[in-house]
Structure formats: C-alpha cells, structure tokens
Structure 1
Amino acid sequence: MSFSNISADSLKEKIDEVRRFLSVTLRIANAHTVDFYTRDVWRAFMAVEPGEVLTAVNAARDRTGAPEGNTSFGFCDVSKKLVDVSALLRAAEAHSLPGLGVCVQRQTLMDMLGVMDGDTQDGTSGGHLLQPDEFMNSKKAHEVPAMAEVVAALSRFCKVKQVIDVGSGKGYLCSFLSLQYSLQVFGIDCSSTNTRGAQERNRKLKKFSRAYQNHGQFKGNPEVQNKELIDRKENDDEQEERTQGHQRPRLSQEQEEEEGGAKERDRKKHVTTDCNNDVAEVQCCSSPGLDKSAFSDQTESETTNADLENSFFTALAPDIVEQASPRVPPCQLSAEERERRKRENLERKARDGKGNRDAKNLYSPLTSYVTAETELRTLITELEDAVMVGLHTCGDLAPSTLRMFKTKQELRAVCSVGCCYHLLSEEFDEDAQECESGVYGFPMSQYLREQACFCGRNARMSACLALERVSVGGGLPMESLFYRAVLHVILQDHYDSHKSEKRVGNVYSKASSFVDYVRRALRKLELDDSKLSDSVIQSYHDLYISRMNEMVAFNMLKVTLAPCIEGLILLDRLCYLKEQENVSYSALVQLFNPLLSPRCYAIVGIKGPGVL
C-alpha cells in the first residue's frame, strides 16, 4: 500500500516558515490580559486604532492589497508596532495548518487504509450501529464515532485486536470501540474517580451490551415485543408469588382459607386488568397514533432501578433493563430456596470462568499515572500488539503517548489528539518551572530542540483559543477579562500585593456588578475591601470603559494567531515521528469539525514494513 506522505525535509521547511512568522508576532500572544492597562499594552504594540483592527478582522473576505514598505507581516521593522492589519491577517491565515497544506483529511486517510465510507466489515457487533447521541453530549457524539472509525481502520490495517486508550476519562471512546468494532480496549486514566465510574459502566455494559445491540431488531418486530411482554409479565408474577411466599408469616387454617378466597378474587381481577393493559400496551407500541402518555407515566412511577437514571441506559428498551426484586433476608429463605440460589451462583461462576466471547470485547479501566517510561506490561498482563490512542489528552500526556509509541515494540500504530497546550512543559522557556522528569512536552523533535525553540505560557494559552467559533460569533468573555484588568489597576494603586501568587479565580460568575466583583476578589485575596468606597471602585470602571475596545481588538488578534501557535506545536510532534526510523508512516489528520471540536487535529503514526 502506498501513502501520500510529506517528506521530513518539506516538513522542516514548513516549520521554518511558521517560526519566522511567530518570531515577529509572538509578542502579542505572550502579552497577558491582566497587565493590559497597567502596562498600556495597546500603545506598546499598536500604531493603529482599535476600530481599524476590528473592521479588518470582520472583513474576512477583503484582505487583499500590497503590504506597506519596511514591514514584516504588518509590523514596522523600526518601531516593531503593527501598522498594517490586513497584512498580519493574511500572513496568519497562510501560516495556519490549512494554509500550509500539510494536513490530511480524515476521509483521505480512511481511503488510504482501504476502508471506504460505510464499510464496517468485521467492524461492528452484529451489524447494529450505535447511536452515540443517545448517551453522549453533542460534542462527544461528533468526536467519538469519527475517531473510533479511524482507530478501527488502523487496527485492521495492523491486524491487531487490542487498543490502549491513554487518558480515557469517562470511557466514551473505549465503550464505542468495544461495542461497535469488537475490539479489546484498555482505558488508562490517572483519576481514580474516573476509573471507578468506568468500572461501574463496564459492569453494566457486560450485562446490557448484547441487548443494546439487538435493540434495533426488537423495536422493529411487534411479534417479538408481544412475546417478550408476556414472558416478562409471567416472570414478574412468578417472582412476586415466590417472594411473597417466603416473606409472609404462618397463618391459622381459618385465616388461610379466608385469605385464599380473597386472593382468588383478587387474582381474577388482577388477570383481567393485566390482560387489558397488555393488549392496550401492544396496541400503543404498534399504533403510532395512540396516546402513550398514560403508559409512560405508569412505567416511570413504577421504575426503581437506578440504572434507568443513567443517561446511557435510558437509550435501552425497558424490557432489557433488569428490575430489582425485593430483597429477602437469608434467615427467611427456605432450605430449598437457599439450595437453588447456591446452585445458580455456582453455574453463573462457571460460565463466567470460561471467558465468554462478549467479555473480551468490553474494555478494562485501569488507574495509573502514565509517562513515556511507563512499562505497559506491568499494567496489562495480557498485552498483545495494539494501537495506542488518546482523545484530547492534556498537556504532556500527548507527547508521552508519542514517546511510548516510539519505544514500545508492541504498539503498532498511534492516533493522538492533544489539548490544553498551556499545561505543556517547555524545555527552553526561562520563565517556566523546571520539569522534574527532565522530559519536556515541547519541543519534541530534535530539529526544534537544536534551535532551542520555545513559545511561552501565555502564547500556549492563546493557542487554546478557537478561531472558528469566534469567527461565527462565538465571542470571547470580554467583560470578565475587562473586570480583571481594571482590578489589577486597583490593586496596583491601593494595595501592595498586585503581584501576589494568589489567584482571583471564577469570581465574575458570582458577581452582580463591577463593584461586587472587586469586593469579592479583594476578600478572596484576603485584602481589606473596606478601605475603598463603592464610588471609588466604580470610578475605575468609568475611567477605563471607554478603552475596552482596545482590549477587544487586541484579543481578536490573539485569536487570529492561535492556529499558528497550535500549528507549530503539532508540526513539532509530527517532525518527531518523522525522525524515528521504526515509524513507516506519519501524518497530521483533521478528524473533527473545528466548530464542534476546536482541537480537531490528530497525529497518526504506523510502524512496520509495507507502508511508504
């Protein structure tokens, strides 16, 4: 199989282009919004008016024109200030990942792997397609199927059946891969809370996965519905009679005869009512025009199983959710009942001990802090050749995933989508804290390490901004940023702790006004807010509100630079894989719609011969 593959030399040329652009513009991204007014950031960087910036940003389709002389990407070579907004915007677009032309589209990769659209051979459980929007939010419902399809294609190409999901979180991707594509998935997460939740989810999936996959067949067959309905009613009646038989006290002969007559009358009435309800319920299921509210209300009031409260299991048909029967104390059980339950337990354990086929398809959640040096076989005793994946792995976890892929022979392919770039450790950032392990998240490639490349924390935080969402009116939380910047002026003028290590945190969401915001922030910083009157605090707001458009325009420029900074980080990771001799193919793939999922790019790598 032959893959379209950008060469290492061409990739390095693209990296050099981005670095040249950021060498001029990175100062904007590294400017902190908190210091915006105390350091007069606008006048330090700009030789244009805020309105000119906002007009140019909004005129997305009219950025033509020759750049002014003695400028670099719109910045004056002498004053280093921005003088040509349109030139900056054109350059930013050209140095983003789409503008550089280095990305592979998801469908292109699928075609390369020989999996055509809609082809799920050997990939689905019983051919039933799961509907992820029934048990995920809209963002996850978009991300999980798209990434799962790529991971399944990689596993088939590499002829492996195991997947290791690093930073698995709540296990949405793991569940989908195991149920939809019959893969054995190991989810590793450092949070014990996530692992406990995943274990509970795994327990429920073992019970209901097969029923969920057959749910579509059940819904489409009224005869099966009627039969299941009758069987369920008979089983419920038998269970109720058996339970009542063990719970009721011994009665005298007269009491038994009297109760027997009443029970017979109630039984006839009960059978008549149940038959009518069954007929009506079947008619309701088969006739869309009938009102189902009466039956749904009755079902909701009678349901006590906590599983139904889980959003995932609300997607299941009511007939496949096991209803909890009343618990009978062991001392009240007869000898025959105790013997029967003991026999059933032994039979169930014998069945489970054989390792049925379905159990292997469900994922196993594990709790561990993973680094590049983690020995996977100590975590997974049954480890075979596998594909390693990570969906929005935070900070240094994404680089660690790629380093593990390089060093672990059993890992045949990798698909990694990173996020939280502000949590990355940087080797050559003098202001950053030293990494205890000595293994940094950026840069990864030897090419950029030789050049001592760094971005800075504020720039990496800017890389997390979503240009596509802002471009369609998503907007930024400008008022909260404005409040924080003016608060910093107040701290500088009236307090000695404006450089305190303490953080204000999310005070804005609880504040009813600017005055309330300042007082809440001062109390959180353990400062005396009584020394400032409301009128003094409000005067700061009134003084700077006319300059709020400066902050809006400046932050729009930071958003414009975000894709370029993210691009440098991702190109560094791709270059790292290009430098490895045991990696036959590597690519930067756009998996998601950036409007739905801003961190939409995946690093894909494959080992082994046969890939060009």
Structure 2
Amino acid sequence: MALRCDPDSYQLIQNHAKNLLCFVNQYKWISEAYIVEFFVKDHWANLPGSWQDVLQDFDTEQMASLLSGQPMNNGTIFQRVWPLSLLSFRAAAYALPLPRILCEKDETFDHVEVQNLLRKAQTSYEPLPHHYRRHVKPKKQYEIFRLAKLINEVCTDSRCLNLVDVGAGLGHLTRLLSFGYGLHVTTVEADGCNVTGAIKLDSKLTETIQVKRVENPSKLKGVKLSESASDDPNIPSHVIFHINANIAADDFLNLLQENHGAVLLSDREERQTIVDKRLNGSITSADNNKSTVSGNENAKYAMSEQNLAHAQQTVSCDDKSFVFAGLHTCGDLAPTILRVFTRCKTATALVSVGCCYQRMTCRNVTPAKTQCNRTVPTDSQAAAILDTGNPRTTAGIQNSSQPQGYPMSTWVNHIPNHELNYEPRELACHAVDTYAQRLRDGDPNIILQCYRAILETIIQKQHPELSTGHASIRKLKKIMRNVKKQHDVPLNQYLSEALSKLGLEQVSIDESKELEKLLARWKQLIAFHVVRLLTAPVIESLILIDRMLYLYEQGFESQLIPVFNPKMSPRNFVLISKKTSPQFQDLETL
C-alpha cells in the first residue's frame, strides 16, 4: 500500500507527522533506554506497576503476538486484564506507523521463494537470473531483483534511459539495470575498492555474455541484447567520489561531466567507446574525494559548457536527463540525494531506499539523559493519547551551515520538541518483524541479550569508559564479536571469555552467584525490549514522512511504497518522486 504526498493528501501527511511526534515524545523514556543497560539502570522499574503485572507473565509467543499484532498460534489469549494506558500504547503503536506489508499481488508473486530463503531451505533467489547472483547473498539477490524492476518502471514512465546509482557498492544492482534492462548507468561510490571490484565483475559478466552469445544464446536469460550481434551490452560507468552533505547540484553535474559525462552523452557509440576504455584502464586517485579512469579522454568527451547550461535549464526527458537511485544509502547520504535531486534540473526522478538512520546528523540533539524521565499517561488520560497539542510555530529553529539528515522539512522543524536523539534513530533500524519471528519460533539464542546486559553491569563497575561515547561503544562491539555466543554456553563461561578479551578482572564466586540471579529475570528483559521495539516503526515512519514533506515543500510530489518483504529486508520502504507527468502511474502494484 502506497502513501502519497500530493495536494490532496498534504495536510493529512502534516497531521500524521504531528501525531507521530506526539507518540515519540510521549514515550521517549522507552525509546531512549538501551536494552544493554537493562540491569544497570533498572529499566524494568521505570515501567508502571500495572504494566509490570501484565508483562512479567508473558512467554515468548505472547511477546511475539504483542510485537507483531498477530494472534498466537495456539489460539490462547492474554489472561490478565490490561490497564488502559498499556492498551492505548499498543493501539497507537499499531495505528501510527506506515503499513509495512506488501500488496497482495507482490506478496503472492514470490511467496514460496521468500519463505524458502527465510527458512534457509535454499541458498539463492531463483527468480533472479544466475548471471546476477554470483558473489551476491540471497537477501541482496531478492532486493536487487525487486528494486531493479521498480527502477525500470520509473525510468520507462519518465522516458529516461539514464540512471545515476549513488552508493552503489560492488554494483550488483547496477549490473542488473545495465545488462538486464538496458539502462545507461553511472555509479557514484566513495570506496575505491568497491569500484575496482565492480569493474572486475562487470568485465566478467561481459566476457560471459560474449561467449554465451556465440555458443548458446538461450543461456543468456535476463540479458538485454541488441539486434546487432556486434554490439556489446550496456556496461556501467563508475565514479569514485565521496558526496559531502554540502554538495551543490552544479558540483554534482560537474562531477559527472569531468568523469566523461557518461549519463549526459547522447551518442551510444561514443559512450560505448568510453566504457571500453574504462574497463581496460585503471582507477587512480585524483584527490582525496574523487578518482577518474586513467587517460586523457575527459577533454574529448566532456560536455560543453553550452550544453551543460542547456541541460540545467530543462526538465524534459531528453538525452541529458537522468534518474537518481540508491539502495540502502547510509545515514546522511539519502537526505543528500534528496537535496541534490530537488536542485538538479536534469534529474527527472528519484528512487531511494534509506538505512542507518542513527548515522544521520540531526539538529538540536542533546545527549540522552542517564536517567529516564518517563511520563506515562494515567488511565483517564490514555484515551486522548493520539491528540496532539503541538501548535505550528516558527520558534526555536537554529541556523546551521551543515545540512541535516533530520528534520529535512520546514514543517517538522517548526514543531516543538521534534528532535530525535541517537538512541531512537538507532532503534528505528531494528528488524522488528525478524525479531517477532524469532520469538514465535522460540529461538533459544534470545537469552543472549540477557548475557550481554549482565556483562554491562561488570563493565560499569570496572571500566565504565568502555561504554561511554559512540566511538567507544563501536570498539566494544567489535571486541564482542569474537566472543562465542550460543545459548548452550553457560553464563560464567561467556562472562569469563568476554572479560578476558576486554582486559577486565574476572568476577568472584560470590559475584557470580549474584549475576546468576539477574539471569533469572531474562523474560523481564525481553518483555521490556518488545515494548521498546513497538516504538521503532513509529520513529522510522516519522523520518520517512519528514522526507516526503521536504520534497513537497520543494514542489515535488512523492510516494512511499513497501517494496520488500520486511522479514527479508527490514528497511523496506522506497521513496519515489518524479518531476514529469503523469505522476506515479500504477507503481504501487509492482
């Protein structure tokens, strides 16, 4: 089901954003509570007593039902009468987020394939031709198959064959779009190693196509070939460049121009000559941010200043226009793409799937408080939880020379208390549907969350600096990856290995007995985590709707579509915007 932001729905979208913010602020004491600090800060005690009475008796299937909103498999019901405040919280958590479920047509199309992948009954996504599955994990195979189809539809509707894939990585999506759909694709990727790898994979696929074309063309399923046997398929062009949040649209166009202007060239033979030389050349660093292919072809194939000026003055779908795309663009990259899209007149459409919201830079954010300031509504107040009293105001806006990832829209920026700290943004990236399935399946490794929370109590006593600051936390997580994590590993063994790797003192026998008592509270920890996870889709919806409002404020309609099965790909929303008419023809049925 698609959510559109157009003149008819704009005011509804604005009100939705206000309701989302009301919920986020009401339950900030939950979303800003790290589960790893469950025992350190006694998060269970922060829950109202009436909530504790209900949640403490939950088994894992009841927790899964609460999190997913689906009935329990065994047909049982919750035994206790819930307080109105908890019922209100659950109702709002279910009602406010964007619908994450695919439309029925999409859900049934590859239902068996997806279920087999989820059960690990097969190791590849069969609908994707085997040429594009090499060196690609099943999850990524599924994602590029689904998104490539959508991107091709957008390009077709926009009458544009040129595409710029930002944050392309090893170019798995790009190859499908180039070789499979015949689009003229240029990637922009910050990591030179990824670009080198992408060019090698492009070359291998090109060689395979050339051989199979002669020996057995029937083996080239999913490859778009020209009528002339002498023509090579479209080969992607690659640019190494770190896109700064401050980049201007003209600078981005110049970047494409300086790197042969691959997407801006109208002559196919001329472009193919460039790509052939790119594959035969080598990547060399031009400066700290940008690299080009060796050779002196830039001057020969660069777009003239006159043509560039003409391209910037038109929005028509000619040979100089292109479509923006990005699959799971991290942190500030997705908002940056949106800004460039709105300011670049030759960008005709946008297809964006964001991720890693915690890595965005945000305005007015203060460090999370060490103690939760919870404000739980009383039962008499609970029925009005969805009412917002936030007036639209222009007060409290800070000027900043650095563009922010959130909020992007003026509307959200004008709402008081719109800030999102690191913890809620990190929570918005959790795989809620996957976790609910783990609970439903009775995954025994769930208890390891309790192990980690117990370890945190020791860290806070001996060396609290290890958990202070995001840099230290990342370092701690890196060390913990080397600790054996299985449910059949006794707590004492887990703690001994972890403390040894962290360089901390081992616990005494008496301390060990006290820690075992904490382990007995593992169901409380999981129940609190489930309550916290219920806020995650609300936070993600707020971030995505803020982006829709930003696009509308810039004069462009947009829509959000759940394009992936959320159990396969948790960040499953694609944001689409087009500058050409007609808008969004049948895209929700792809």
Same fold, TM exceeding 0.5? yes
Higher helix share: 1
1: CA distance between counterparts of 2:215 and 2:16?
50
Distance 1:53 1:513, change over 3 A: closer
Superposed, 1:75-114 pairs within 5 Å as: 75=85, 84=86, 86-98=87-99
Match of 1:21 among 23, 27, 41: 23
| CA drift at 1:457 | 1.2
* 1:13 alignment partner, SS class: helix
Q: Is the 8 A contact 1:518 1:537 kept in 2?
A: no
Q: Is the 8 A contact 1:165 1:174 kept in 2?
A: yes
User: How many percent identity over aligned positions?
Assistant: 25
Match of 1:463 among 404, 428, 439: 428
Taking only aligned residues, the RMSD between alpha carbons, in angstroms, comes to 3.7
Superposed, 1:595-606 pairs within 5 Å as: 595-606=567-578
What CA deviation, in whole Å up to 9, does each residue of 1:491-524 have, x standing for no partner?
A: 3445565655534224265245433443444444
Could you say which residue in structure 1 is the equivalent of 2:343?
407
Unaligned stretches of 5+ residues in structure 2: 108-126, 224-229, 265-319, 369-397, 585-590
| CA drift at 1:593 | 1.1
Q: Which moved more, 1:464-473 or 1:437-446?
A: 464-473
TM-score, normalised with respect to structure 2: 0.66
* 2:27 alignment partner, SS class: helix
| CA drift at 1:539 | 2.0
Q: Which has the higher contact order (CA 8 A, sep 6+)?
A: 2
Q: Does 1:358 align with 2:232?
A: yes
Q: Is the 8 A contact 2:163 2:322 kept in 1?
A: yes
Could you say which residue in structure 2 is the equivalent of 1:31?
33
1: CA distance between counterparts of 2:361 and 2:133?
38
Could you say which residue in structure 1 is the equivalent of 2:492?
515
Distance 1:211 1:13, change over 3 A: farther
Query: What amino acid is aligned across from residue 10 of structure 1 in structure 2?
Result: L
Superposed, 1:138-537 pairs within 5 Å as: 138-211=138-211, 217-218=217-218, 357-358=231-232, 361-372=234-245, 373=247, 375-381=251-257, 382=261, 383=264, 384-431=320-367, 438-451=402-415, 453-473=418-438, 478-494=446-462, 497=465, 500-501=468-469, 502-503=472-473, 504-505=476-477, 506-507=479-480, 510-511=483-484, 513-527=490-504, 529=505, 532-533=507-508, 535-537=509-511
| CA drift at 1:33 | 1.9
Distance 1:143 1:153, change over 3 A: same
* 1:473 alignment partner, SS class: helix
Distance 1:572 1:546, change over 3 A: same
* 2:366 alignment partner, SS class: coil
1: CA distance between counterparts of 2:329 and 2:215?
33
What CA deviation, in whole Å up to 9, does each residue of 1:412-465 have, x standing for no partner?
A: 000000111121221121128x99961111111111112251222111111112
Q: Is the 8 A contact 1:415 1:603 kept in 2?
A: yes
* 1:366 alignment partner, SS class: strand
Query: What amino acid is aligned across from residue 58 of structure 1 in structure 2?
Result: S
Distance 1:170 1:52, change over 3 A: same
1: CA distance between counterparts of 2:496 and 2:529?
26
Q: Is the 8 A contact 2:64 2:437 kept in 1?
A: no
Query: What amino acid is aligned across from residue 444 of structure 1 in structure 2?
Result: M
Could you say which residue in structure 2 is the equivalent of 1:576?
550
1: CA distance between counterparts of 2:213 and 2:425?
43
Q: Is the 8 A contact 1:514 1:538 kept in 2?
A: no
What CA deviation, in whole Å up to 9, does each residue of 1:284-304 have, x standing for no partner?
A: xxxxxxxxxxxxxxxxxxxxx
What CA deviation, in whole Å up to 9, does each residue of 1:81-138 have, x standing for no partner?
A: xxx2x43222211011019x9x999979xxxxxxxxxxxxxxxxxxx98346742332
What CA deviation, in whole Å up to 9, does each residue of 1:292-318 have, x standing for no partner?
A: xxxxxxxxxxxxxxxxxxxx9xx99xx
Q: Does 1:58 align with 2:53?
A: no
Distance 1:569 1:476, change over 3 A: farther
What CA deviation, in whole Å up to 9, does each residue of 1:514-538 have, x standing for no partner?
A: 33443444444444x26x44x2452
Unaligned stretches of 5+ residues in structure 1: 76-83, 109-127, 221-311, 317-355
1: CA distance between counterparts of 2:529 and 2:558?
34
* 2:239 alignment partner, SS class: strand
Could you say which residue in structure 2 is the equivalent of 1:587?
559
2: CA distance between counterparts of 1:461 and 1:385?
36
What CA deviation, in whole Å up to 9, does each residue of 1:47-86 have, x standing for no partner?
A: 2233345536526456999x999x8xx54xxxxxxxx2x4
Q: Is the 8 A contact 1:105 1:591 kept in 2?
A: no
Q: Is the 8 A contact 2:154 2:349 kept in 1?
A: yes
Distance 1:476 1:389, change over 3 A: farther
2: CA distance between counterparts of 1:460 and 1:508?
23
Distance 1:56 1:497, change over 3 A: closer
2: CA distance between counterparts of 1:525 and 1:436?
39
| CA drift at 1:470 | 2.3
Q: Is the 8 A contact 2:40 2:457 kept in 1?
A: yes
| CA drift at 1:203 | 2.2
Distance 1:157 1:184, change over 3 A: same
Q: Is the 8 A contact 2:128 2:141 kept in 1?
A: no
Q: Is the 8 A contact 2:4 2:558 kept in 1?
A: no
1: CA distance between counterparts of 2:45 and 2:165?
48
Distance 1:487 1:410, change over 3 A: same
2: CA distance between counterparts of 1:437 and 1:538?
52
Distance 1:215 1:177, change over 3 A: farther
Structure with bigger gyration radius: 1
Q: Is the 8 A contact 1:132 1:141 kept in 2?
A: no
Q: Is the 8 A contact 2:146 2:563 kept in 1?
A: yes
| CA drift at 1:9 | 1.1
Distance 1:495 1:369, change over 3 A: closer
1: CA distance between counterparts of 2:212 and 2:433?
37
1: CA distance between counterparts of 2:158 and 2:323?
8
Distance 1:413 1:62, change over 3 A: same
Query: What amino acid is aligned across from residue 451 of structure 2 in structure 1?
Result: Y
Distance 1:184 1:219, change over 3 A: closer
Query: What amino acid is aligned across from residue 232 of structure 2 in structure 1?
Result: D
* 2:232 alignment partner, SS class: helix
| CA drift at 1:378 | 3.1
1: CA distance between counterparts of 2:414 and 2:213?
53
2: CA distance between counterparts of 1:183 and 1:370?
23
2: CA distance between counterparts of 1:215 and 1:445?
56
2: CA distance between counterparts of 1:144 and 1:419?
15
TM-score, normalised with respect to structure 1: 0.64
2: CA distance between counterparts of 1:484 and 1:216?
55
